[in-house]
């Protein structure tokens, strides 16, 4: 889907995707992201999340920070960037993409792979926090580079405030779905699905409109997690109903999501001399990312194979790079920056495009191909037939 989207954008006489309105493309991708985040929230295991909470934070923060720092140094040494611009490049590249990671992880989870160790919960939760960190750091550094950091404290605290706001709204709305619709409502599953999906759309688009873009994804994830927690206690089949309906909607949304991400790749923006050096910079960053990802999950009960799988799961990049990759260049143009600033902005965009081309399809393929070989499999009937309370009791016994 990614490759086809790129072909529809770049092949001569076939390039129909270049006429797609950017606003429509952004809205469709955001709506598809709502679907996958709601599915992810429905699939989170509360007991695993409690057990792995510290590991989630380690996995969310350390690979992003280490890769960003490595790319900043490499951009300074290889591309000749100033340190601040190198930091911008590192923060653009450092984020993982839930849009690729989460669907692949859910595909494995649906077949029982890694469920017993809580690996799907670990990866899904950490990927959302990882994006917030990268976007917050990028916004702060961009303000410093272009002299717009008037309120530094507000810029620094905006990311954490967005996370807390998204979690709070998600918890409140999720609690409401414990009681809505009323039990005796006809076609209850459809009403519940509608309330869940509309709530996710309101969070996503409302957050963007209110200039709190990170609050939307966090709110979607929290909303589905809180609502499903009670549904499983009351009746495990009700939670499974929502997941099945979301899966059907995702089957429709998936080609739009990945096709439009692929269509963001404009080969004409790739500067040949920059590409070779850029691949070297990306390679250095990925080496540090893989080593850090492996170390971040050390000291847990994960086996060597499972830790190696986490490394592969932490490779794909797409949505964040497509969203903030052009920002430095656009800002340099709008603020009438120097020729050197515009060229560095264009190089940042080039490397963002290269990171999508290299890591999104390869990373997604590695997750799906290595998952069955590296993760232990729990029988599907064991996963679906027990409430989490019964599972916890069984584990204790």
List all residues 6 or more positions away from 174 whose beta carbon is below 8 Å from its beta carbon. Answer: 222, 223, 224, 225, 226, 227, 229
From first to last of its 397 residues, the chain has per-residue pLDDT tens of: 878 888 888 888 877 887 888 788 878 878 887 887 788 778 777 776 777 778 888 998 899 999 999 999 999 999 889 998 999 999 989 888 887 888 888 889 888 898 888 888 888 888 877 877 787 778 777 777 776 555 666 666 776 777 788 889 999 999 998 888 887 777 778 888 999 999 999 998 998 788 777 678 778 888 988 988 888 777 766 667 787 888 888 888 888 877 887 787 777 766 677 788 888 999 999 999 999 999 999 888 889 999 999 999 999 988 778 767 777 877 787 777 788 888 888 788 778 888 888 898 899 999 999 999 999 887 654 444 444 444 454 454 3
User: Is 111 inside a domain boundary?
Assistant: yes
CATH number at residue 202: 1.20.1530.20
Q: How many domains does the chain have?
A: 1
Contact 247, 323 (CB under 8 A): no
Residue 369: per-residue pLDDT: 94
**What's the confidence (pLDDT) of residue 294?**
93
The alpha carbon of 260 is separated from its chain's Cα centroid by a whole number of angstroms, namely 16
Residue 166 inside a domain? The answer is: yes
HSE of 373 in the Cβ direction (CA atoms, 13 Å)? 8
Question: Is residue 396 in a domain?
Answer: no
C-beta separation of 39 from 245 below 8 A: no
Tell me if 15 is assigned to some domain: no
- The pLDDT score that the predictor gives to residue 15 is 77
Neighbours of 242 (CB within 10 A): 22
Token duo for residue 142 = 């961009």
**What is the CA angle 306-311-312, rounded to 5?**
95
Rounded to whole angstroms, how far apart are CA atoms 309 and 385? 27
206 in a domain, yes or no? yes
Q: Does the residue 397 lie in any domain?
A: no
Query: CA-CA distance, 144 to 314, in Å (whole number)?
Result: 29
Q: Is residue 11 part of a domain?
A: no
Give the residue ranges of DSSP H helices in 146-271: 152-176, 188-209, 215-234, 236-263
Range of the domain at 71: 20-388
User: By CB neighbour count within 10 A (0-12 exposed, 13-18 middle, 19+ buried), where does 184 fall?
Assistant: exposed
- Is 205 inside any structural domain? yes
Predicted local distance difference test score (pLDDT) of residue 389: 44
| Distance separating alpha carbons of residues 325 and 271, to the nearest angstrom | 15
């Amino acid at each position: 889907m990614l490759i086809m989207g790129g072909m529809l954008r770049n092949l001569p006489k076939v390039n129909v995707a270049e006429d797609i309105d950017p606003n429509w493309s952004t809205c469709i991708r955001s709506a598809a992201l709502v679907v996958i985040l709601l599915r992810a929230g429905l699939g989170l295991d509360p007991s695993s999340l409690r057990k792995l909470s510290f590991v989630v934070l380690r996995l969310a923060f350390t690979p992003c920070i280490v890769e960003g720092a490595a790319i900043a140094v490499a951009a300074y040494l290889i591309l000749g960037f100033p340190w601040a611009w190198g930091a911008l490049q590192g923060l653009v590249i450092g984020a993982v993409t839930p849009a690729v990671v989460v669907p692949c992880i859910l595909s494995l989870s649906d077949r029982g792979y890694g469920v017993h160790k809580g690996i799907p919960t670990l990866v899904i939760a950490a990927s959302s926090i990882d994006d917030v960190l990268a976007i917050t750091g990028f916004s702060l550094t961009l303000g410093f580079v272009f002299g717009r950091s008037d309120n530094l404290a507000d810029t620094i605290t905006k990311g954490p405030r967005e996370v807390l706001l998204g979690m709070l709204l998600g918890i409140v709305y999720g609690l409401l779905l414990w009681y809505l619709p009323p039990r005796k409502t006809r076609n209850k599953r459809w009403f519940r699905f509608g309330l869940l999906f509309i709530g996710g759309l309101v969070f996503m688009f409302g957050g963007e409109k209110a200039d709190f873009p990170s609050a939307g994804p966090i709110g979607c994830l929290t909303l589905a997690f809180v609502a499903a927690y009670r549904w499983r206690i009351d009746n495990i089949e009700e939670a499974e109903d929502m997941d099945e309906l979301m899966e059907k909607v995702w089957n429709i949304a998936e080609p739009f999501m990945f096709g439009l991400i692929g269509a963001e790749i404009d080969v004409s923006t790739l500067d040949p001399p920059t590409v070779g050096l850029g691949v070297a910079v990306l390679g250095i960053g990925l080496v540090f990312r893989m080593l850090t990802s492996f170390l971040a999950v050390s000291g847990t009960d994960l086996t060597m194979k499972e830790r190696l799988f986490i490394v592969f799961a932490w490779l794909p990049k797409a949505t964040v790079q497509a969203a903030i990759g052009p920002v430095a260049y656009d800002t340099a143009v709008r603020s009438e920056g120097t020729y050197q600033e515009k060229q560095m902005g264009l190089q940042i965009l080039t490397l963002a495009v290269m990171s999508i081309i290299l890591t999104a399809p390869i990373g997604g393929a590695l997750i799906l191909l290595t998952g069955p070989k590296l993760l232990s499999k729990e029988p599907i009937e064991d996963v679906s037939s027990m409430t989490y309370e019964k599972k916890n009791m069984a584990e204790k016994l």
